[in-house]
Structure 1
Amino acid sequence: MAEERTITLIADSWCPFNCTNHPTGRGILVEKAAAALGHEGYEIEYTEMPWSRAITEVRTGRYDGIVGTGPSETPDFHYPPEPLASAHHSVFTLPNKTWEYQGLKSLKDVRIGVIQDYSYGGLYEDYIKGNQDNESRVVVLRGDRALDRLVEMLRLGRIDVLVAEKRVVQYHFQSRGQDNPLRYAGLVNEEPLYVAFSPAIPDGAELAEALGRGLAKMNR
């Protein structure tokens, strides 16, 4: 029964969308999912680990669901009918640069920094996948604090362009009491964000349906 079921959700830290250290809860997506699933009688527990590992842990059923994913990243997972938010995958440079994003061809002029197994709204399939073994084009980081490390690589000139979600970058600096020192160089993709559920658990499809019902109740 739903009232006896605690749903385990997992993701990497991606404030303000999902994070354990958010000042007003666990981030936009986690709190919205918790409220929606609460309407259906469920409780949630939220845990963080690096993104690539989180995908594997949910895919094998060790955790019930993943926060902040999309069908291009986890096509085999169970999804609710509607997303919970939208991501604006953007590019940033140091403030003294003039490069602007002008489509995929413009990326060939720079070295970009990205996080492993992020889809970036399709940029992975369209560009990163074909260039990830060429470090003169793409630098891929994995593990903890990947965004912190990419920001530092940008500062040191080891990459030319940081690819990241716009609000995540803004929060990264605001949470440290800083103004964002990076220069916005364009929007790459906009992408719907979901909480999706494991294909390896018996009630994965039902949990996705329950989340959808809860979201519909909240939107009335």
Structure 2
Amino acid sequence: MVPRSILTFLILLLASGDLAAERTITLVGDKWCPFNCNDHPDHRGVLVEKAAAALAEKGIRLEYIEVPWSRAILSVRAGQHDAIVGTGISETPDFYFPPEPLAYAHHSFFTLPSDTWEYSGLKSLKGTRIGVIQGYSYGGLYQDYIKSNKGNEARVIALRGNQVLPRLVEMLRRGRIDALVAEERVLNYHFALSDQENPLRYAGLANEEALYVAFSPALEDGAELAEALGHGMKKADPSP
């Protein structure tokens, strides 16, 4: 018969081990369906669910929170939240990244159907007012063009806050911008929510960008979490 004191010790040890094995990290991003979103009845978006499945291997749960993109970056950098979803390396170069991306974005230009303008490089943007979301890198378009034209609303109008994509679509319809930049699947999903096909005209690819879940530089084990995410993703999809 095991003495009561030893039995109590073993119970406490097992309980503390279970608690140590459980962990919840906060993952933030702005609404960017179908990649990440909190209003879908079955899932939180393909990136969130993919990361959740990979980290579950280590007993880690994800709590997904939506905040405007610029605030998401700042809060994760400061350690107020643990990780960000849908980021590129150029947007958050100081964060901890897994070895491989979770998906790829196709940042593209869209105009009204009546327009004929086509994007064929930065020179083709001359005379075109584009609408963008503040803080997005757009796979390098921010560094190459948006940053140098910041404040020049004859060339770039950058919106911030919540529900930015619908606002950009409305600005395009009203003629306040000539083209908007959006990820093609995100824009299609936006219109699908109201049971319609995307009525806007595709006007060219700006950039393709690798998308990641990246961890806060304020986390002591941020590098380990990124490695665990990469390992879990590789285990789920072992193909090279």
Q: Same fold (TM over 0.5)?
A: yes
Q: 4+ runs of 1 displaced by more than 6 Å?
A: none
Aligned sequence identity (%): 70
- How far apart are residue 175 of structure 1 and its match? 1.1
1:110 corresponding residue in structure 2 = 128
Paired residues, number: 220
Q: Residue 156 of structure 1 is aligned with which of 157, 162, 174? A: 174
2:186 corresponding residue in structure 1 = 168
One-letter identity of the residue aligned with 2:224: E
- Spell out the pairing of 1:68-107 with structure 2 (5 A cutoff): 68-107=86-125
Distance in 2 of aligned mates of 1:218 and 1:201: 25
- Spell out the pairing of 1:139-154 with structure 2 (5 A cutoff): 139-154=157-172
- How far apart are residue 23 of structure 1 and its match? 3.6
2:233 corresponding residue in structure 1 = 215
CA RMSD of aligned residues (A): 1.0
Q: Residue 201 of structure 1 is aligned with which of 219, 226, 231? A: 219
- How far apart are residue 3 of structure 1 and its match? 2.4
One-letter identity of the residue aligned with 2:62: I
One-letter identity of the residue aligned with 1:164: A
- How far apart are residue 76 of structure 1 and its match? 0.3
One-letter identity of the residue aligned with 2:186: V
Give the SS at the match of 1:189: strand
Q: Residue 185 of structure 1 is aligned with which of 203, 209, 216? A: 203
One-letter identity of the residue aligned with 2:54: A
Distance in 2 of aligned mates of 1:109 and 1:171: 29
- How far apart are residue 163 of structure 1 and its match? 0.3
Larger radius of gyration: 2
Give the SS at the match of 1:109: coil
Distance in 1 of aligned mates of 2:21 and 2:137: 34
- How far apart are residue 30 of structure 1 and its match? 0.2
Question: Which sections of structure 2, spanning at least 5 residues, go unmatched?
Answer: 1-16
TM-score with structure 2 setting the length: 0.90
Question: Which sections of structure 1, spanning at least 5 residues, go unmatched?
Answer: none
Distance in 2 of aligned mates of 1:160 and 1:23: 35
